[in-house]
Amino acid sequence: MQNIFGGNMLTGIVGDVKIVPNLLTEFIDPITMKALYHNCLRLDIADNNVKAEICSAILGTGFSEIGTGTNRIAFLHNGVVVKVALDRRGLVDNFQEYKRSIELPNYLAKTYETNYLVNICEYVEVMDQDRFIINERGIKQILEDLSKNYLFDDIGYTLKNSY
């Protein structure tokens, strides 16, 4: 089978790009999804870094790791980001991110699909620290706008949040 995916599948361009009704099932077969779910819910592994390594092995080489957060791991796959929950908090994070992306399309990367375990998201380039510092005023204005309707727990203008 030829490579049917070119660039971002969600552009609506027909031709070399395959438009599918459900990216979750297109990217991850049911057996793999069950293995990811088992990995997410297992209690015998407390370290999410170990679970992240297992997740990478389950998905294989077609998924390029972008990075691991506290409760999720992100991969680049066919022009979109695939975020996989590593624990129960990651399941909640995926759903919250999906809901917030609908509410705040001007501020957040779009999350196209979710099943709680896996999010399919828009790929965006992150700012490096120099660009983050240059844009401090604009970033603080966005945070101020968001703070009018949302409670913040672990975000703010600090260099550790620059990525």
- Render pLDDT for 38-62 as a digit per residue (tens, 0 to 9): 999 999 999 999 999 999 999 999 9
Name the nearest CA neighbour of 123 among 73, 54, 70, 76: 76
The pLDDT of residue 58 is 98
The pLDDT of residue 18 is 66
CB 122, CB 114: distance < 8 Å? no
The predicted model scores a pTM of: 0.82
